[in-house]
Amino acid sequence: MTEGKFGTAINCMDGRVQEPILMWFKIRNGIDFTDTITEAGPVKALAEGDGPTVESIKNRLSISVNKHHSQLIAVVGHHDCAGNPVSKEIQLGQIEKAVEKVRSWWPGIRVVGLWVNEMWTVDEIV
């Protein structure tokens, strides 16, 4: 495997948000490789539940952290999300709760919350 720095995106499956998030990791944070964990509206699942979706995200994240030594985890919400069709304000609150949950799993790793806005650019919110 090529050596380099890893990060992990817990991101929506929506193809419109993949590239902006990959570029944010690479350009803003010097991450060489971004492991991507996708779900439809993952911030809602992480903020509001502890069921099989959350367990699946946690298991996949564990691989990224323990095997790839991910140095940065981003929890991502976005404009016009079909999997979580609520207002921006509600999603921002969900992102904050989701970030808290992920930080509790891996307190030694930087965890941030990101919002991909209507211009498909990335804003760091937490």
Residue 39: give the domain boundaries: 6-124
Total domains in the chain come to 1
| Residue 1 lies inside a defined structural domain of this protein | no
CA angle, residues 21, 72, 84, in degrees to nearest 5: 50
Mean pLDDT of each 10-residue bin along the chain, 126 residues long: 88 97 98 98 94 97 98 98 97 98 97 98 96
Tokens for 57, please give them: 């995200």
In the prediction, which pLDDT does 49 show?
Answer: 87
In the prediction, which pLDDT does 2 show?
Answer: 64
| Residue 71 lies inside a defined structural domain of this protein | yes
| CATH for 109 | 3.40.1050.10
What is the dihedral sign for C-alpha 98, 101, 102, 108? positive
